[in-house]
Amino acid sequence: MKRRKQADRLLLKRIRKNVNKMNYNQRAGLYTSAVSHPEIGKEQVLHRMECQKGSDVYQKMGEEFDELLPRLYGLAKPAAVYRRGKIPRDSAAVQVLGPDADVIYVLVSTGERISREADRLFITGDCVKGLLLHSMADEYLFRLDEWIQDRIREYCREEGIGIRERLEAPGRLPAEFQEELLEAVKCRETEKIRLTKGHMFEPVKTMGYLLTVSSDRCQMRMGHDCNTCEAVNCRMKDRCIMNCAVCQRTDCRTRGQWRREEEFDIVQEYERSENSGRKPCRIEKAGVNGEPCVIAVDIGTTTLVLQLVGTVSHEVLGCYSGINHQRRFGADVVSRIQASVSGQGKALAKSIRDDLKRGIQQLITEQGVTADRISKIGIAGNTTMLHLLMEYPCRTLGTAPFRPYHNSLQVIKSQDLFQTAPQQELPQIPGDNEKAAWIDCPVILLPGISAFVGADITAGLYACGMHEVRKPALFLDLGTNGEMAIGTGGHLCVTSTAAGPAFEGGNITFGTGSIPGAICQVTIGPDSKAAIKTIGDRPPIGICGTGLIEGIAELYRNGLIDETGLLVPEYFETGYPLTQEDQEEQIPLIVITQKDIREIQMAKAAIRAGLETLITEYKTTAEEIGAMYVAGGFGYRLDLNKASAIGLIPPQLTSRAKAVGNSSLSGVVKYMLEAGSIPSHIAKQAREVQLADSETFRQLYIDYMYFPARGCQKAGD
């Protein structure tokens, strides 16, 4: 061991003898560098892998890090290039910057051999080293980016210019711009970098962006802005509150994600009927009988849903759904926490309050309900969303020990929340000539459990009757975060794990949100050809999370991927085609790539490991669980048999699993009609299980990276 460490030190010494050289091609205006290997921080790498300093896991992973570091340096083929130029008139960036804008194109890459080695480690079963090497490569790439920025600063000082801002694609710039960027910096160092059909860089550990030149030499804004980045599973975000098990600094915007709001398929239903597919809201005209009404609200990170319910008939009298416009501050809770901490709390509160006022206004006006008939409003949402609504300080949500400012049940006046006068009139809806007084009633915020498990989960547990069951029941709210609970009326354990954006189409080559044209169902026949179904039966434009789960389950069932997730040689390089390109019908080629499969493996491993850890903590087994409730928009449309086939949920629970749709909204409605103190009791008795400190979770996460053995009936076999 001692000799090997000495050899490793000698190897590192030789590797770091590379001399930094700066070459300048005056004719092309192109700068390239023979780059020396940057220093890789062990602490930063292990932090992103959620290893707590001082723990046994930290020590073990630290030893693995030391062993892998010489191999990383030996495999890396770093390239760091920048070039100053003008934006062409036909550029994809013209709409953002205008033609002839003075810019600097930047591209950095670790080379492809590191990713290949990490994939090889996965395939051979050494998942821990595979994950660690991926995380080390991320750190290498970030340090490489810092290195090239130092060289750009030197160039700016010499030229007497500054940098106004940094633009990345996809994000502020369209994804297609990556092709222009690659062409702009094409040289010997970058000739092996290429783009996928989805305009993503290969090798994966490659970063490209645009710097806009400023005449103000004091401006130097070239760093990556975590506040605007939509990489929700990135541990580089300052004071990240998510329990990520793995980090990849890749953009997780989805194709066509922000189209027209009316195109979004937002789940309002409470449960799904296996015979009819869905149980729709029953809408009655509210103005007919004049009964008192309540309004139930579910505030999601992306969307919000409101329902008008009669207190006598208990019928749903009207529904409203829309987009949470706080998204302009960031697509995820971490970005919004950071925005709040940086002084934008008032703007965030105003944004969501305006959204709610708009929804309430439209709901009661369309149903012919006067303001005096609304007896109360109930609201649930995750802990961050309710903090932003109330304009509470969010700093404690983003720093250990992650304590909410306020998480108990609250009752406030609608006029105080919405800052309206008693007789203030509702703003007019376009086309409506009538005016009505603003609502004057109590607003009730349901209680949350912790910073990670909010009031939306409390409401969901209440809706599913978890407080009444005698046999242990399991609750799972599927999404970018997977919140889960297990227990009975007297004992409840909860936790949260970050699955990343793959279930919502993020980080997927042809991923998209749940919009018309998204592939949502996949079947593969004996001839290995795919039959697909899209949302709204529109021409396919991409694949959403449920379609990807089905596609991968079908690939596995047909032997086109093995237990490690490896595609057969025929599709390994190009991906498995779900569609064939048809220019006449404007149908693109859409494939499931090896990278997409890996993304789902990591996401499903986080969820399944969380479930199994929770079951273990509760000291029970899957066989003893009486029911499983799968909540959320993704879970509502999920084929549970195919989810079980890839190991996302325990196979023993498939027959006992039930999709309950928007359980948060259902719980708010139930509380508005029944009142009582049960939600507060649920929140107080729940014990949170910290997965970040769990060795059980870490080991299970690695185990469930694999797909279950074919024909296996028991979890873990």
Residue 607 lies in a domain: no
Domain extent at residue 552 = 502-598
101 and 198 assigned to the same domain: yes
57 and 128 assigned to the same domain: yes
pLDDT digits (tens, 9 = 90+) for 296-311: 999 988 788 999 999 9
Q: Give the residue with greater pLDDT, 710 vs 597.
A: 597
176 and 58 assigned to the same domain: yes
518 and 383 assigned to the same domain: no
434 and 566 assigned to the same domain: no
Q: Which of 214, 242, 276 is the last residue of a domain?
A: 214
Q: Which of 396, 431, 460 is the last residue of a domain?
A: 460
Identify the CATH number of the domain in which residue 182 sits: 3.40.109.40
pLDDT at position 41, please?
83
Stretch 178-198: mean pLDDT: 77
293 and 434 assigned to the same domain: yes
CB-CB contact of 659 with 692 (8 Å): no
pLDDT at position 269, please?
57
- When divided into structural domains, the chain yields a total of 3
**Can you count the helices (H) and strands (E) in the chain?**
20, 25
pLDDT digits (tens, 9 = 90+) for 273-296: 333 333 344 444 544 467 899 999
Q: Taking 90 as the threshold, does the pLDDT of residue 442 lie above it?
A: yes
pLDDT at position 50, please?
65
Distance CA 659, CA 652 (A): 16
Q: Taking 80 as the threshold, does the pLDDT of residue 712 lie above it?
A: no
Residue 169 lies in a domain: yes
The closest of 372, 336, 373, 375 to 352, measured between CA atoms, is 336
Give bridge partners of residue 31 from the DSSP assignment: 24, 82
Q: Taking 50 as the threshold, does the pLDDT of residue 251 lie above it?
A: no
Q: Which of 556, 579, 598 is the last residue of a domain?
A: 598
**Cis amide leading into 393 (omega within 30):** no
Residue 244 lies in a domain: no
Q: How confident is the model at residue 25 (pLDDT cuts 50, 70, 90)?
A: very low
pLDDT at position 607, please?
93
pTM: 0.67
Residue 558 lies in a domain: yes
60 and 194 assigned to the same domain: yes
CB-CB contact of 411 with 444 (8 Å): yes
- Torsion sign, CA atoms 526, 530, 533, 535: positive
Residue 224 lies in a domain: no
Residue 106 lies in a domain: yes
37 and 141 assigned to the same domain: yes
Residue 563 lies in a domain: yes
183 and 62 assigned to the same domain: yes
Identify the CATH number of the domain in which residue 286 sits: 3.30.420.480
The closest of 232, 216, 97 to 164, measured between CA atoms, is 216
335 and 283 assigned to the same domain: yes
Residue 83 lies in a domain: yes
204 and 273 assigned to the same domain: no
420 and 565 assigned to the same domain: no
Q: Taking 70 as the threshold, does the pLDDT of residue 534 lie above it?
A: yes
